Structure 1
Amino acid sequence: MTSIISGIGWHTVGAASAASFYAPISKVKQWSWETTWAVAGLFSWILLPWIVTWFLVPDFASFYGSIAGKAYLAMFMFGAMWGIGNVNYGLTMRYLGMSLGIGIAIGVTLVVGTLLPVIVNGTFMHLITTKSGQITMLGIIIALVGIAVVTYAGHQKEKILGKTAEEFNLKKGLILAIFCGIFSAGFAFGLNAAEPIKEASLHIGINPLYAMLPSYGIIMGGGALINFAYCIIRLAIKPELSIRNDMSFPVKSLLINGILAATGGIMWYLQFFFYAWGEASIPQNLSFVNWMLHMSIYVLCGGLVGLALAEWKGVGSRPVRILCLGMVVIVVAANVVGLGMAAN
């Protein structure tokens, strides 16, 4: 039971980092979103995963040489799938707005990333026919209800504050949100494909908390390819966007922007760093709940961060009460999943 509690705790730390990563990025001035995102991604998807791996793995050649090539291909392709989800995420916000977009996308990601690996592994029937599995499934359903309540509260906030999507289009937005949710679950599939690296890490004596981290450079590399390509293409074809313009400001401004973007990227990476700790703390036969915990607690922490940053100021008490109700439901969901795991 102690390991389950610590696992939920580490997932909470990671989700809190994910929910807060955009705070420093939003402070970047005079840079295009594409340049800011690329700089943040350089730290998040490239530098930190490989720096951490460099500290963990004493001999890259022998370590990675012991892994079958098809495992690398699966991890990289699932990472690219996750990267496509990231691009769709931004487009979802464009057509649905932040609250509806995040709520629908996270809800789909939670379901797909949690249940599809179980179905593929052939353990879904065990999940729905055992007492522990049924309790855990109940927790997943409660989490979806909590996400829906938080999403509704956020939508009410946007209406009251007059914040609408740039080009609100429900049909386009829903399609993109569903695609975002499906493709973003690629990271969960990538982790599932990374079991050979986890086993190799444990074999050479790497602490179980860090055993999954050497796979991140490959999974995130796939995502980086998609995101960097998107940013570069946008900068190349949009006349109002230009790296030259973004780099034309005084050195002090460039340094401040770089630090802010890098900080956001580091915080984004830390969500998965602590995800690995949470995953290592959850019993292996219950590993499918890791993605559910991460996604639902992500929404919970996003609500808390929004309250802390006074984003709900001036909306009145009703939307805030609805938000708090949704967050309570998500906390209940995490506890129900914990009970389901304990009953295993």
Structure 2
Amino acid sequence: MMAPNPIEGIGLHAIGATSASTCYLPFHKTRKWSWVSYWLVQSLFAWILTPLILALVTIPDFFGIISQAPSGVLWLTFLFGGLYGFGGMSFGFATRYIGYSLTYAISIGISAVLGTILPLLMEGTIGAYFRQPGGQTIGIGMMIAIIGVGLCGWAGFRKEQEIKTKTPAAQTQSFNMRIGLLLAIAAGILSGIFNIALEYGQPISDMAAKKGAGIFEGNAKLIIATSGCFVVNFIWFTVLGLKQKRFKEFSAENYKPEVEAARRPSGVPQLIKNLLWSSLGGILWCMQFFFYGLGHVKMGKLQFASWVIHMSMLIFFSFLVGLAMKEWKNVSRKTYATLLTALVTLAISFVIMSYAGM
């Protein structure tokens, strides 16, 4: 196994966070597709194909490890991954109501704290966690992160009020802070459970490490957790797609006006483009945990800080994405200042927690 290096670990977490903060952007490149169609394709790549390929490529005797792993470990990892599946759905819908920056800040902020504390509570080691070197500093960083999340929520409510006074009602229905906030909170709580799935799956990673997987050991448990997530989403969105008659969007008949243009040498059918963009979204989602796994191993004895550092970075980068997409273009200076204060607060919490991890 490669020697631990927390600095490299934090860098790998940053790469994963960047991937996660951009994984929903490809949806905006699709045409004549509903969210249901996009979500089904991206979930297939995010939670089945990409993690399976990663496991097969990086884990020696992967299927042998799975066959020898304790059934209880496999089922708990799968079931808790399934619970996260509901969080993924809530997260996706929340972005449509309150945008990327707010959804990421609120839900991931909650996930950062719960994803760290819940496994400790279940193991009865929360006291030891905060007594170890850097533990109290991590706790301070968590509290500052919660303040940052609260400021994000306040900025969101201010934005909603300003939009209602400046924009016709018909054009403001897409932004709904109350519905979006409830979805983001639900996503944050359920997303924090994903770290429990990864904790339960650690024996699978340990088996992979003994087989020589090295820094890639996390890929062995990742596919088990994401499979549970996929099953939940596949059932939900398949039923929803049938109910709303969305599966006709996968038919070439849905793109008749574009067929002739697509026949030209340089033309690419829109259906193929939609499939490619959706698969890219799924791959980006999966790569966040690929790099999370690498970073977690490189953190060495400071692995206890991995989840909260990774999530804090995700919040930071998602805010930059939201700003780049001009989600806050028409707000007042006071609201924008509130937003920037929230961003700086979250950045400070990330610096503090990173310092504790070093």
Q: TM-score range by the shorter chain?
A: 0.7 to 0.9
1:218-248 CA-to-partner distances (Å, cap 9, x unmatched) read 111100001111110101122xx32124423
Task: Describe how 1:66-85 pairs up with structure 2 within 5 A.
Answer: 66-85=68-87
Task: Describe how 1:39-54 pairs up with structure 2 within 5 A.
Answer: 39-54=41-56
Q: Percent identity?
A: 31
Aligned equivalents of 1:16 and 1:178: distance in 2?
22
Q: Given residue 243 of structure 1, which amino acid in structure 2 is its aligned partner?
A: F
> For the structure 1 residues 17 and 104, does the alpha-carbon distance in structure 2 shift closer, same or farther, using more than 3 Å as the test?
same
Give the TM-score normalised by structure 2: 0.84
> For the structure 1 residues 99 and 305, does the alpha-carbon distance in structure 2 shift closer, same or farther, using more than 3 Å as the test?
closer
Aligned equivalents of 1:71 and 1:36: distance in 2?
32
Kept in 2: contact 1:76–1:190 (CA 8 A):
yes
Q: Residue 93 of structure 1: CA displacement?
A: 5.3
Structure 2 residue corresponding to 1:323, chosen from 339, 351, 356:
339
Kept in 2: contact 1:153–1:320 (CA 8 A):
yes
Kept in 1: contact 2:100–2:319 (CA 8 A):
no
Match for residue 200 of structure 2?
A: 193
Structure 2 residue corresponding to 1:302, chosen from 311, 318, 330:
318
Task: Describe how 1:283-302 pairs up with structure 2 within 5 A.
Answer: 283-284=300-301, 286-302=302-318
Number of residue pairs matched? 337
Partner SS state of residue 116, structure 1: helix
Partner SS state of residue 5, structure 2: helix
Structure 2 residue corresponding to 1:232, chosen from 227, 230, 238:
238
Kept in 2: contact 1:113–1:189 (CA 8 A):
yes
Q: Residue 338 of structure 1: CA displacement?
A: 2.6
Match for residue 183 of structure 1?
A: 190
Give the TM-score normalised by structure 1: 0.88
Partner SS state of residue 139, structure 1: helix
Residue ranges of structure 2 left out of the alignment (5+ in a row):
263-268
Q: Residue 277 of structure 1: CA displacement?
A: 1.6
> For the structure 1 residues 121 and 204, does the alpha-carbon distance in structure 2 shift closer, same or farther, using more than 3 Å as the test?
same
Aligned equivalents of 2:42 and 2:96: distance in 1?
21
- The answer to which of 242-251 and 159-168 deviates more is 159-168
1:173-199 CA-to-partner distances (Å, cap 9, x unmatched) read 665444332222221011101111211
Q: Residue 99 of structure 1: CA displacement?
A: 5.9
Asked if 1:269 is matched to 2:276, the reply is no
1:54-105 CA-to-partner distances (Å, cap 9, x unmatched) read 1123423422222111111011001101101112334555776766554443
Aligned equivalents of 1:323 and 1:218: distance in 2?
38
Aligned equivalents of 2:353 and 2:7: distance in 1?
11
Kept in 1: contact 2:82–2:232 (CA 8 A):
yes
Structure 2 residue corresponding to 1:16, chosen from 12, 15, 18:
18
Q: Given residue 278 of structure 1, which amino acid in structure 2 is its aligned partner?
A: G
Asked if 1:219 is matched to 2:235, the reply is no
Aligned equivalents of 2:6 and 2:58: distance in 1?
25
Structure 2 residue corresponding to 1:244, chosen from 248, 255, 262:
248
Q: Residue 109 of structure 1: CA displacement?
A: 1.8
Aligned equivalents of 2:344 and 2:175: distance in 1?
32
Structure 2 residue corresponding to 1:279, chosen from 296, 300, 309:
296
- The answer to which of 151-160 and 229-238 deviates more is 151-160
Aligned equivalents of 2:81 and 2:280: distance in 1?
22
Q: Given residue 197 of structure 1, which amino acid in structure 2 is its aligned partner?
A: I
Q: Residue 130 of structure 1: CA displacement?
A: 4.8
Q: Given residue 337 of structure 1, which amino acid in structure 2 is its aligned partner?
A: M
Kept in 2: contact 1:147–1:326 (CA 8 A):
yes
Q: Residue 309 of structure 1: CA displacement?
A: 3.0
Aligned equivalents of 1:292 and 1:156: distance in 2?
28
Kept in 1: contact 2:84–2:193 (CA 8 A):
yes
CA RMSD of aligned residues (A): 2.7
Q: Given residue 198 of structure 1, which amino acid in structure 2 is its aligned partner?
A: S
Q: Given residue 304 of structure 1, which amino acid in structure 2 is its aligned partner?
A: L
Q: Residue 333 of structure 1: CA displacement?
A: 1.3
Asked if 1:255 is matched to 2:255, the reply is no
Q: Given residue 133 of structure 1, which amino acid in structure 2 is its aligned partner?
A: G
Task: Describe how 1:202-217 pairs up with structure 2 within 5 A.
Answer: 202-208=209-215, 210-217=216-223
Task: Describe how 1:130-149 pairs up with structure 2 within 5 A.
Answer: 130=132, 132-149=134-151
Aligned equivalents of 1:135 and 1:99: distance in 2?
26
Aligned equivalents of 2:234 and 2:95: distance in 1?
19
Q: Given residue 286 of structure 2, which amino acid in structure 1 is its aligned partner?
A: Y
Partner SS state of residue 187, structure 2: helix
